[in-house]
Amino acid sequence: MRETSITVHAMRARRVDRIATSVLIAIAASLCLLLGIMIGYVLVMGAGKMFDPSFLFGKPQQFKAGGGIGPELFNSFYLLVITLIISVPLALGAAIFLVEYAPDNVIVHVAKMAIEVLASLPSIVVGLFGFLFFVLMMGWGFSIISGALALTMFNVPILVRVIQQALESVPLDQRDAGLALGMTRWETTLFILLPAAMPAIITGIILSAGRVFGEAAALIYTAGQSAPVLDFTCFDLTNPSCPWNIFRPAETLAVHIWKINSEGVVPVLTAISDGTAAVLLVCILLFNLVARFIGRTLSRRLSA
């Protein structure tokens, strides 16, 4: 009697387990399918343009057919680099402070909450704030620096969280070992904790770069919607056509897609928009792959 009830129970448990497993697999599969369809669609639609050098590196046309996205492509990368140059040191400093130094008091709690809130601000709000503050009040106009600072505002909180988690996942005994050898907290952080956390930090930075790269809303009102013709032989940093000038307007790929779709008058604008979308997507996929690769290589080397 008792044995049968155990068997019945075991069979029931096994059946429930099978059902749960198949439901979970179905959910995961449909997510992959959804992603696959979207990526596939964008790539197929943009395939015609994506491999065309005159599209990738050419100048955009306002009214004629043809034209490329050369300046937009450059702007996207340049803006990303400037953003990372500003946001990585800030985020590193904030995360190290929060993990290693911050006392457990009200001010620190408020700061932590501020970072959380900043991380969830809608990007259009960040963009409009950037427009009012950087573009108008500071008088920097639509420029790379205005755009980079706006992007910094929502990149920093994400980076802080990633770096914080990376530092917290270093075992406590590493910290103790450094301190017990008479090193200061700063030396311990710099020479022991940061190297140990580096694979996770680098992965996090590259993943955040993917988000920054594809951002449009925060840039429309800060980095602007126009791409001056760039002259790569010009190194006069005050000249608007100098590519390295951070006070020139700089339309990025994502903003370009938004603009030609909302107010473009150029013929074949769908083709241009599709091509741009495909290029943007490929770049972001590359960021993800590179992040995984570097993260894995580094952690393998560090834990040999």
> Interacting stretch for another protein, rule CB under 8 A, among 10-18, 90-98, 173-181, 245-253?
173-181
179 binds another protein (CB under 8 A): yes
- Which of 1, 53, 103, 139 touches another protein (CB under 8 A)? 103
Whose Cβ is closer to another protein: residue 262's or residue 303's? 303
- Which of 177, 229, 285, 286 touches another protein (CB under 8 A)? 177
Whose Cβ is closer to another protein: residue 150's or residue 196's? 196
> Interacting stretch for another protein, rule CB under 8 A, among 83-91, 113-121, 138-146, 186-194?
186-194
180 binds another protein (CB under 8 A): yes
171 binds another protein (CB under 8 A): yes
Shortest distance, position 166 Cβ to another protein, whole Å? 13
**Which positions from 238 through 297 interact with another protein, judged by CB under 8 A?**
none
Whose Cβ is closer to another protein: residue 44's or residue 181's? 181
Whose Cβ is closer to another protein: residue 47's or residue 180's? 180
What is the CA 92 to chain-centroid distance, rounded?
A: 16
Shortest distance, position 198 Cβ to another protein, whole Å? 10
- Which of 61, 165, 174, 226 touches another protein (CB under 8 A)? 174
Binding site for another protein (CB under 8 A): 103-104, 171, 173-174, 176-184, 187, 191-192, 195-196, 302-304
